[in-house]
Amino acid sequence: MRSFLRDALLKGMATISSPGAGQAALEEVARALGERARRRLGRSLSIREVDAGSCNGCELEIHALNNPVYDVERFGLKFVASPRHADVLLVTGPVTWNMREALLRTFEAMPAPKWVVGVGDCAADCGVFAGSPAVVGPLSGILPVDLHVRGCPPPPLDIVKGLLALIEAPG
């Protein structure tokens, strides 16, 4: 355990500096929410993640957001266990018929105002699973999506940039 402490003191900080909000994400958020609505979000966001049929690749990268390198809690982004505490629903996967109801119930359990962010190509257009009869269709056909973070899976840095667009003023 001493070596951990020594490393912490000598090796310097593992955490990277803020990458800033992604430009494309900022524009998408501005279109979806407008400046006034976004100001209501303040600088703190509670996020409830729901896997609506992903291959678990996106979950691995969302997990990484909490590791010491990305450490998104320093930006005020916090993953919460209950939808009742959440401002943002972070959804992955192509939305399967078997997960549809649980996804809708989670959204309904969140207090307004609330926002929906789709992570990964599957959430945007069902990705490689498009056309399967077991899949309902893109997330945007089921819930109002405010922001998409594309990628298969998107690297953590892209997810951070997207989420920062929700809380940072442009420019």
Angle between helices 156-167 and 57-64 (to 10 degrees): 60
Q: Which span (19-27, 34-42, 122-130, 137-145) binds another protein, by CB under 8 A?
A: 122-130
Asked if residue 107 binds another protein (CB under 8 A), the reply is: no
CB of 34 to another protein, least distance (A): 29
Q: How many residues bind another protein (CB under 8 A)?
A: 49
- Cα dist from 132 to 29, 58, 63, 121, 149, whole Å: 30, 20, 27, 15, 22
Residue selected from 31, 39, 63, 84 as contacting another protein according to rule CB under 8 A: 63
Helix (H) or strand (E) holding 137: none
Find all residues with CB under 8 Å of 58, minimum gap 6, and list them: 51, 92, 93, 119, 120, 122, 123, 153, 154
Asked if residue 117 binds another protein (CB under 8 A), the reply is: no
CB nearer to another protein: give 60 or 169.
Answer: 60
Asked if residue 39 binds another protein (CB under 8 A), the reply is: no
Asked if residue 13 binds another protein (CB under 8 A), the reply is: no
Asked if residue 4 binds another protein (CB under 8 A), the reply is: yes
